[in-house]
Amino acid sequence: MSGAFRGRSRRNLDEDTQKSSNQNPSMMKVLDMDTPSSDVELYAKEVLNALVADNLPPTPNNFSLYFDRLLEEKSENLQKQIASMLELEESNDAEKTIELEQSLKQGFTSIKSILSVTATLYKNMSLMSKILEKRKEELSTDIETKEAVELIAALEGDVRKLNVIVKTQSSQMKTIYDDTAKIVKNVENETIFDNQFGVYNKRYLLTKIEQEIGLINKFNHKSSLIMIELSRELKASVKNEKAILLMTRTIARLLLKTSRRSDVVSHYGNGIFSMLLKHTDIESAKKASERLVYLVSNSNFFLADREIQLKISIGITDITALHTVEETVVSALDGIEKAYKIKNTDYAVSLRE
């Protein structure tokens, strides 16, 4: 068989391919990349050409970034067509990691609840022993109740034995709980998700900025970072911590709604969010900020019978190979402070020398 295989010439292989193509015309469409048969194929080829033109390697990550970025300039019909196709794709690894983190934390919460119930049971058993002891003392003054006293004494002994068993098991559960708490704590130190706001956490953000700096150093493209917070003036006027938390969560949802798949939306801390905009220059970051401001300002919040118009402040900075992660973050935070100082603006750019 191997000899027969070696005997096949290149011409024969080409003939076989031609025969298969004649039998199945649709195969020719797949093979002929010079004549795409659909708008999606045309768009995919355009994305690839854009990568080559920008001297970027056509890796899956870069292709995905350009795929999302260039799509914003296309017709609404094409955007809907591609969006419907993307919905059929499976969740990525990051989403699976988030699900795992949430399941782990839920499991830890359940263990904590079991320990709480066991502790309550132990307290109730101890209380029962004290009640039996008290009733025994009350009955011991009456000679005619000798049999009752003996019965209570026997019951007290049984309860005491059960109490010892429950106490031992409770102690064992406490040990298991402490061990589990250490495991969960170690996992939390490696988590990428912020449960409170449903976005990535600070640790993940800093990691992605560091990775982006490395990519920029190698391929010399432009990326930006924006920091977003609920307006301090708005928070001062509301003076209701629960309402402020709900408004902040609304901001997080809106950020996710307007972000591209390639954008990294995260909670930096203290109600300040960030968006890492890959392959996005300052001008494009400013446009993205304008869209955010518009979206938020048109999302009113109701507090009792009071309607509140949401407002945010945004700081924008560029990500370069010349500045560290910390310098980049500080620059974006400085942009927020700058936005507060400039009248009639909701965002400001902060660039470093």
What is the band of 144 on the pLDDT scale with cuts at 50, 70, 90? low
Neighbours of 147 (CB within 10 A): 9
Residue of 163 and 1 predicted with greater confidence: 163
Cβ–Cβ under 8 Å, residues 321 and 327: no
| pLDDT value, residue 37 | 53
pLDDT tens figures, 255-272: 998 898 889 999 999 999
pLDDT tens figures, 172-191: 777 877 877 777 777 777 78
Residue of 25 and 189 predicted with greater confidence: 189
| pLDDT value, residue 338 | 96
Neighbours of 213 (CB within 10 A): 19
**How far is 156 from 128, CA to CA, in rounded Å?**
9
| pLDDT value, residue 214 | 94
Determine phi and psi for 260, rounding to 5 degrees.
-85, 165
Greatest alpha-carbon pair distance for the chain in Å reads: 116
Q: 206 pLDDT exceeds 90? A: yes
Residue of 69 and 48 predicted with greater confidence: 48
| pLDDT value, residue 307 | 87
Q: Considering the chain, what is the average pLDDT of its residues?
A: 81
Residue reference for tokens 């996992």: 187
Determine phi and psi for 344, rounding to 5 degrees.
60, 35
Residue of 102 and 208 predicted with greater confidence: 208
Where is mean pLDDT largest: 63-72, 155-164, 241-250?
Answer: 241-250
**How far is 158 from 192, CA to CA, in rounded Å?**
51
How far is the CA of 18 from the CAs of 21, 79, 284, 286, 291, in angstroms?
Answer: 5, 36, 48, 53, 52
What is the band of 335 on the pLDDT scale with cuts at 50, 70, 90? very high
| pLDDT value, residue 225 | 98
Neighbours of 347 (CB within 10 A): 24
3-state secondary structure 219-245: HCCCEEEEEEEECHHHHHHHCCHHHHH
| pLDDT value, residue 89 | 55
pTM, full prediction:
0.67
| pLDDT value, residue 310 | 94
- Rounded average pLDDT over 37-60: 86
Percent share of the chain, pLDDT over 90: 38
What tokens does 7 get? 């005997």
**How far is 261 from 68, CA to CA, in rounded Å?**
7
| pLDDT value, residue 109 | 78
Residues 250-288, buried b or exposed e (16+ Cβ, 10 A)? bbbebbeebbbebbbbbbbeebbbbbbbbbbeeeebbeb
pLDDT tens figures, 268-318: 999 999 999 999 999 999 999 999 999 999 988 888 778 889 999 999 999
Spatial CB neighbours of 123, under 8 Å, sequence gap ≥ 6: none
pLDDT tens figures, 86-138: 665 544 556 666 776 777 777 777 777 777 777 777 777 778 777 777 766 76
What is the band of 27 on the pLDDT scale with cuts at 50, 70, 90? very low
What is the band of 76 on the pLDDT scale with cuts at 50, 70, 90? confident
How far is the CA of 96 from the CAs of 72, 92, 296, in angstroms?
Answer: 27, 7, 29
| pLDDT value, residue 87 | 63
Spatial CB neighbours of 337, under 8 Å, sequence gap ≥ 6: 315
* Closest alpha carbon to 46 in 15, 80, 5, 74: 74
Residue reference for tokens 């979206």: 295
What tokens does 270 get? 């203290």
Q: Work out the angle at residue 198's Cα, subtended by the Cα atoms of residues 197 and 202, and round it to the nearest 5 degrees.
A: 75
- Rounded average pLDDT over 332-339: 97
| pLDDT value, residue 17 | 39
Long-range contacts of the stretch 71-74 (C-beta < 8 A, 24+): 71/43, 72/260, 74/43
What is the band of 140 on the pLDDT scale with cuts at 50, 70, 90? low
Neighbours of 303 (CB within 10 A): 14
Cβ–Cβ under 8 Å, residues 246 and 230: no
- Rounded average pLDDT over 133-153: 68
- Rounded average pLDDT over 144-164: 74
Q: At what angle do helices 60-71 and 76-86 cross, to 10 degrees?
A: 140
**How far is 109 from 171, CA to CA, in rounded Å?**
18
270 forms beta bridges with: none
What tokens does 3 get? 């000899």
**How far is 252 from 257, CA to CA, in rounded Å?**
9
What tokens does 50 get? 């854009």
